[in-house]
Every structure is written in structure tokens, then in C-alpha cells.
């Protein structure tokens, strides 16, 4: 693997310095033109661009992953994903000033190189936390309470705890209620007062924890129904309208929750194995991010995995909880 750096000025110096501490980045090659990149870059290499060079991507056919270094605010950075389809990774220039950036970049390189990437692996180095498998949507609230207590006990500020809880609640709600609809398992959205039950071997995976600097939450659902287009559509709509958007009745929301995640997080990584699973990993600085908020967004979409088939096993109107109106049980079988 070779890392091609096609960025300018101080950002170039900071990036090259950080990559020197990331063994997986391989040789770092500073280039001055798209032709140099096109001649030398392979699918296994990584290309870094910034605001001075990214426009050239519109007329290129690069096969290498592209990481864009942004000096803009979050809405503009998100806009790059739509404007330049070859860009799947955006990192703010201020992120290069963070202590965690070398480890963060190492995780990105490892995920790009993996045959079967797992965002959960990003939690293994220096993160103390817990991992839980949830089969019932109704149990998520109690778990969120325990998660909040755990994060607070490990040095996160009250604001970070509140933000991480909001993130986790949004991701779990999406996993239990939106993802089955998008996957075609449920014919239409169901109220959040319904209890959705998943089989034990396809439970929703929740993990959370803390490192010295970051509080982290990870959610994996077994549907793999999130698409790049859907994600970017809701984000760009919120960015363009200042969150004054109409509710999307087909999915039970307007994407505001996902927008809040991207605007509050220090980093967001999304990995989708189509019709197999969706993983979302979110990290938030435990004590604030300084004057210039750092951010990093990473999209990993794989269209090739074997499909998992689902069906409705039961529509059970009985429930042991008076807060719930109805329960829906989902089953699966592999093709």
C-alpha cells in the first residue's frame, strides 16, 4: 500500500507527519498533479486530497479510496460526498491536531484492507467498555440508562454523556424500526410503542466504552438495508434546509437524528454489507474538542455479500408491558 498525498501547505506537513506514525500507510508519496496519482495509484493505495485539489476528481476515474482533508464546516464536508462520488472519507484539518488521529488513521487503513471489515475492531485498542446483544426493542431504554452511568463514571462530561445517549438511542431506534422497513421485512413503519423482537442469532449488537479522550458507541443491525444514497440524501437535505425538513413517512423520520449524529460527533464510521448488516461507530470527545471542532466521516459500503432472507413470524397482540401496544417477531433463514 502507498499513500498519495495531494494536498497543500501546512495541511500537507501535518498529514505527512501523522502518516509517518501509521505503519499501515506504507510509503508516503507527495504528488503535484492528478496525472501523477492516476499513473501510480492502485486499488489498494489511498489518495489524500484537500480543497485545492478535490475539484480535479470530478474528471478522474481513480480506483483508489480517496480521503478528503477539509478546512470547512460539517455541512460543506458532507456535501463533498455527494459532489464527488469517489470520496468516501472526509477528515477535518483540525482532526490532524488530535492525539487520537494516528490510531484513528490506522483503523481506517485496516478497514480498507480487510476482506470482511469490522468496525467493532476499532474499540479493541485502549478502549474500556461493554458489549451487549439486544433481541427486543423494548429493552433498549434500560440499557441506555446503564450506558449513560458507565460513560459518566469513566470521566466523560455531562454534555458528552447526553450526546452519546442521544446517538445510541437514534442508532438503536433505526436498527429496530427503520432498518426492517428499508429491508422489506416490515411492509410499513410501525409505531415506536411496538416491541420488535429479533432472533438470538441475529440480535442487534450494542457496544460502548471510553478511551482517554473519546467516548464511543457502536451499533450493528442484521439487515444491511442502509444505502449510501439514502444516508447522503437525508444529510444533504438537512444541511441545505437548516433542518427545516418534512418528515419522510416511508421511514418514520426526516433524517434529523442522523444529522445530529454527524454534527455532534468527533468521528462517524459507517460500514454496510448489503442485506447482511449495517455497522455504525460514533466517537465523541469526552471533554470537548477545542476551538475548532474536529471531525472525521468514513463510509464503507459493500454490495456483494450473500443475502439474508427475513420473514414475519408472528404478530402478537399480547405483551407483558403496559407501555407497549403490540409485539412483532422477525425470523430469518439463509438462502
Asked: is 3-97 a CATH 3.40.50.2300 domain? The reply is: yes
3-class secondary-structure state, position 314: strand
pLDDT along the chain (335 residues), means of 10: 93 95 95 90 94 87 92 88 91 93 94 91 85 95 96 93 96 94 89 92 95 94 93 84 46 68 94 94 81 88 79 58 70 66
Other beta carbons within 10 Å of 88: 19
Task: Tell me, yes or no, if the two domains 3-97 and 128-334 fold the same way.
Answer: no
With b for 16 or more beta-carbon neighbours within 10 A and e for fewer, the 170-193 pattern comes to bbbbbbbbbbbbbbebbeebbeee
Say what the pLDDT of residue 305 is. Answer: 67
Say what the pLDDT of residue 122 is. Answer: 92
- Torsion, Cα of 95, 96, 102, 107 (10° steps): 40
Beta bridge partners of 300: 271
CATH code, 128-334? 3.30.565.10
Say what the pLDDT of residue 307 is. Answer: 76
* CA pair distance 203, 228, nearest whole angstrom: 23
Describe the chain by its helix, strand, coil percentages, rounded to 5: 40, 25, 35
Which grid cell is 160?
A: 458528552
Domain ranges of the chain: 3-97, 128-334
* CA pair distance 58, 83, nearest whole angstrom: 8
Say what the pLDDT of residue 250 is. Answer: 44
Residue 93 and residue 11 in contact, taking contact as beta carbons nearer than 8 Å: yes
Amino acid at each position: 500500500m502507498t499513500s498519495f498525498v495531494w494536498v497543500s501547505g501546512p495541511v500537507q506537513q501535518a498529514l505527512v507527519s501523522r502518516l509517518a506514525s501509521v505503519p499501515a500507510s506504507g510509503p508516503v508519496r507527495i504528488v503535484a498533479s492528478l496525472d501523477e496519482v492516476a499513473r501510480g495509484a492502485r486499488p489498494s493505495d489511498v489518495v489524500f486530497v484537500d480543497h485545492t485539489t478535490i475539484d480535479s476528481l470530478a474528471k478522474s476515474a481513480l480506483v483508489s479510496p480517496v480521503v478528503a482533508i477539509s478546512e470547512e464546516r460539517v455541512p460543506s464536508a458532507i456535501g463533498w460526498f455527494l459532489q464527488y462520488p469517489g470520496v468516501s472519507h472526509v477528515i477535518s484539518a483540525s482532526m490532524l491536531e488530535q492525539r487520537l488521529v494516528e490510531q484513528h488513521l490506522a483503523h481506517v487503513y485496516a478497514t480498507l484492507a480487510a476482506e470482511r471489515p469490522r468496525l467493532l475492531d476499532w474499540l479493541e485498542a485502549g478502549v474500556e467498555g461493554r458489549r451487549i446483544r439486544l433481541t427486543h426493542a423494548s429493552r433498549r431504554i434500560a440499557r441506555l440508562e446503564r450506558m449513560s452511568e458507565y460513560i459518566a463514571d469513566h470521566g466523560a462530561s455531562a454534555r458528552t454523556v447526553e450526546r452519546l445517549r442521544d446517538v445510541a438511542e437514534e442508532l438503536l431506534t433505526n436498527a429496530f424500526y427503520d432498518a426492517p422497513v428499508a429491508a422489506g421485512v416490515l411492509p410499513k413503519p410501525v409505531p415506536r410503542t411496538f416491541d420488535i423482537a429479533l432472533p438470538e442469532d441475529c440480535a442487534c449488537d450494542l457496544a460502548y466504552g471510553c478511551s482517554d479522550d473519546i467516548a464511543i458507541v457502536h451499533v450493528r443491525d442484521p439487515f444491511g438495508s442502509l444505502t449510501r444514497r439514502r444516508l447522503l440524501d437525508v444529510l444533504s437535505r438537512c444541511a441545505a434546509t437548516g433542518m427545516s425538513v418534512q418528515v419522510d413517512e416511508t421511514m418514520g423520520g426526516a433524517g434529523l437524528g442522523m444529522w445530529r449524529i454527524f454534527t455532534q460527533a468527533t468521528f462517524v464510521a459507517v460500514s454496510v454489507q448489503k442485506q447482511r448488516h449495517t455497522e455504525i461507530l460514533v466517537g465523541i470527545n469526552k471533554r470537548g474538542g477545542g476551538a475548532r471542532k474536529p471531525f472525521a466521516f468514513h463510509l464503507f459500503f459493500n454490495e456483494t455479500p450473500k443475502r439474508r432472507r427475513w420473514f414475519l413470524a408472528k404478530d402478537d397482540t399480547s405483551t407483558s408491558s403496559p407501555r407497549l401496544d403490540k409485539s412483532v417477531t422477525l425470523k430469518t433463514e439463509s438462502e
